Structure 1
Amino acid sequence: MKNLKIAAGITLLVLGLTSCKDEKQERAQKTVENYVVYVDSVKNVAVADLKDNWKSVEAEYDRRAQEAQAALADIKDNAAATEKINESKIKYEEFKKELTAQLVPAPGPKQQLRDALFGAGKMGDDMNFSWVNAQNIHSVYQQFVHTVEDNKDKYSREDWDEIKLMYEALDSRKNTVEKEGLSAEDNRKIAGLKIKFAPMYKINRMGAKSEENKEAKE
């Protein structure tokens, strides 16, 4: 009788442990599914609503992603669950990239011009040229002058005024860079670019102004 009681007790214990394991695995599977559903639901929210709550959405995503990743340890055969998580991660990152592009306002005409002259994001309203040094200043002048040359027929008088402002600021930076190890060869190349720019600016700005005056009279 005693042996039967012990055997029954062991059986109940095993069943209890199995039940706990099953429940733990079910919870883990549910956690993964909740993560997948969350990603799909975010993609269906209006952009305007996401714009106002994006930080909260990202925080919730990070929490659910971490929980889903941790839940894999409680799933015996987790290959399918791992695939689901990875697919949802890719979906989310692609969606985030598209959304970010929509949320960031397009640069205005002046910033577009600066981006073309110096490279995207290099020059803002602060006109900070600290990124220009003895090693890259020749390439900066080169991009500036060649960009102006390629687009000289498209610029308005206001564009030319902005170009002159940027050019003079770059020249001012050059005075500093010359004391910081600017090579004689790069200095000569920059001098050649400056010789090309000066008449191009004078002639084309004058032409843009004349064209605007003509249009104003008409």
Structure 2
Amino acid sequence: MKNLIKPFALFSIVALLISCKDEQQVKVEKLTESYSKYLDSLTLEKSEEIVSKWNEIENEFNNKTTALKNEINQLDDKDDFEKKFAAVGIRYEDFKKDILVKKAEIDAKNAQLTRNKELFGSQFIHDDMKFEWVNKDNILAVYDQFVTTVQKNKDTYSREDWDEIKLLYEALDSRKNTVEKQGLTSKDNMKIAGLKLKFAPMYTVNRMGAKSEENANAKK
């Protein structure tokens, strides 16, 4: 009887080990499927929404990556799972590149809008080149804020910033031509002329300096 117990005990241990291996394989299969589906779900969301919560998404994906990799490493036969794991990783890197490009575009637009609101006030809206909110009563204040802000930040603007600022300045000047016909006082007009004389050389000198700095950096 004792001789029968030993083989049975050995069989039980082997069966238990096989069962544990099967359970681990099933666990990894489920995690791998969930890992892939998570990436699929991200690709279906609008890129703007992904960008707005990118740090959170990247952290979550990295956590899932680490967890799955640890589980795969516990398998003896893991080649197939490592291939599936790597394939999802490649898809994620391609997805990440596209999102980071979109994120850079959105960040640039937000920075541009922030800069323009500093130049013209909170009433300025994105891509506003008509300045219809500017009238005979507030145009002097708008010019004053514009020139004051440019003077304060002139050392931080890039050549591209200066080019965009010049376009906005010219658009504001175009609006001034309309406002003059709506009753702009000669007193305010004279003050605006003074501000324009202040801006012109500041633009020329600082844009030239920004361009020279960019050229110097490009040579490094």
Structure-1 residue corresponding to 2:155? 127
Aligned to 1:37: 37
CA–CA distance in 2 between the matches of 1:79 and 1:126? 59
1:8-41 CA-partner distances (Å, limit 9, x unpaired): 1221121111111211122123222221221122
Q: Which runs of 5+ in 2 are unaligned?
A: 116-152, 160-165, 171-199, 214-220
After superposition, give the CA deviation of every residue in 1:108-127 in whole Å (9 maximum; x if it has no partner).
59x9xxxxxxxxxxxxx673
Tell me the residue number matched to 1:67: 67
Q: Deviations over 1:86-105 (max 9, x none)?
A: 22112111111212222332
* Partner Cα separation in structure 1 for residue 3 and residue 168 of structure 2: 102
User: In the alignment, does 2:52 pair up with 1:52?
Assistant: yes
Bigger shift: residues 157-166 or 92-101: 157-166
Is the contact between residue 25 and residue 74 of structure 1 (CA under 8 Å) also seen in structure 2? Answer: no
For residues 111-157 of structure 1, give each alpha carbon's deviation from its aligned partner in whole angstroms, at most 9, with x where no partner exists: 9xxxxxxxxxxxxx67359xxxxxxxxxxxxxx8xxxxxxxxxx869
How big is the alpha-carbon RMSD for the aligned residues of Structure 1 and Structure 2?
3.6
Alpha-carbon distance in 1 for matches of 2:168, 2:89: 49
Given that 1:32 and 1:85 are in contact with CA atoms closer than 8 Å, whether structure 2 keeps it comes out as: yes
Q: Distance in 1 between matches of 2:82 and 2:96?
A: 21
Identity of aligned residues (%): 23
Q: What residue in structure 1 maps to residue 130 of structure 2? A: none
Which residue of structure 2 aligns with residue 166 of structure 1?
Answer: 207
CA distance in structure 2 between the aligned counterparts of 1:25 and 1:15, rounded to whole angstroms = 15
Kindly report which structure 2 residues correspond to 1:91-170, keeping only aligned pairs within 5 A, or say none. 91-104=91-104, 105=106, 106=108, 108=112, 127=155, 162-168=203-209
Q: Is the 8 A contact 1:35 1:64 kept in 2?
A: yes
Show the counterpart of 2:138: none
**1:157 and 1:73 mapped to 2: Cα distance?**
59
* Cα pair distance change 1:157/1:102, threshold 3 Å: closer
Pick closer, same or farther for the CA change 1:46–1:158 going to 2, 3 Å. Answer: closer
Structure 1 residues 126 and 27 mapped into 2: Cα distance closer, same or farther (>3 Å)?
farther
CA distance in 1, matches of 2:99, 2:36: 19
Does residue 37 of structure 2 align to residue 76 of structure 1? no
Residue matched to 1:19: 19
Which runs of 5 or more structure 1 residues have no equivalent in the other structure?
112-124, 130-143, 145-154, 174-218
